[in-house]
A = this chain, B = another copy of it.
Amino acid sequence: MASSSSYTNPPCAACKFLRRKCLPGCIFAPYFPPEEPQKFANVHKIFGASNVSKLLNEIQPHQREDAVNSLAYEAEARMKDPVYGCVGAISVLQRQVIRLQKELDATNADLMRYASNQQSNNNFNYGTSHDDHHQTNYGFSPNTTWNNNPEADDDIQ
């Protein structure tokens, strides 16, 4: 029967998958806990353990968690869609941005027509019956809705 002094932590998911001893300082251990075996299996299948290890060693320790999570996201997407991977999600999002931008342009154009027509009506009414109720402010604030140029905000390469 093993004594408590011979107890060692279970190997990380990467070392268990690769059937090697998980030594202190293992580059994978902090990001591939034993309870998430699939995360490493996916990353290994798509990128290869050696490439992932190299990549993690080339970046700062504080960046490694984000890097592993983005690799795991890409790997899972590639497992689900071997042809397009997460580039499929990029295409969907790009189409969505284009569609929303068109809708926003069309809605802004409608709003412009309403606003200019209301102005004409106000002028007409002031010239004839001076109906003060046309001066109500409806909360329309062009500065918050007119900046609809996607290129002016986020630059996607």
Residue of B58, B67, B157 near A89 (CB, 8 A) is B157
Report whether B118 and A153 are in contact in the complex, using a CB–CB cutoff of 8 Å.
Answer: no
The reply to whether A93 and B90 contact each other, CB–CB distance below 8 Å, is yes
Contacts of A108 in B (CB 8 A): 107
Contact A51 B58 (CB under 8 A): no
Question: Does chain B have a CB within 8 A of A2?
Answer: no
**Also in contact, A140 and B110, with CB within 8 A (given A87-B73, A93-B94):** yes
**What per-residue 1/0 map shows which CB atoms of A56-84 lie under 8 Å from chain B?**
00110001001100110110001000111
Residues of the B chain whose Cβ atoms lie less than 8 Å from the Cβ of A84:
66-67, 70
Which B residue's beta carbon lies closest to that of A87?
A: B70
Interface of A is mostly: helix
Partner of A148, one of B55, B82, B103: B103
On whether the beta carbons of A106 and B145 are closer than 8 Å, the reply is yes
Name the contact of A83 in the complex, choosing from B63, B94, B101 (C-beta under 8 A): B63
A113 within 8 A of B: yes
Are the CB atoms of A47 and B55 closer together than 8 Å? no
Task: Tell me which of A5-13, A30-38, A130-138 binds B.
Answer: A130-138
Query: What is the CA–CA distance of A101 and B67 in the complex, to the nearest angstrom?
Result: 29
A positions within 8 Å CB-CB of B: 45-48, 50-51, 55, 58-59, 63, 66-67, 70-71, 73-74, 78, 82-90, 92-97, 99-101, 103-104, 106-108, 110-111, 113-115, 117-118, 121, 124-125, 129, 131, 133-134, 136, 138-141, 144-145, 147-148, 150, 153-154, 156-157
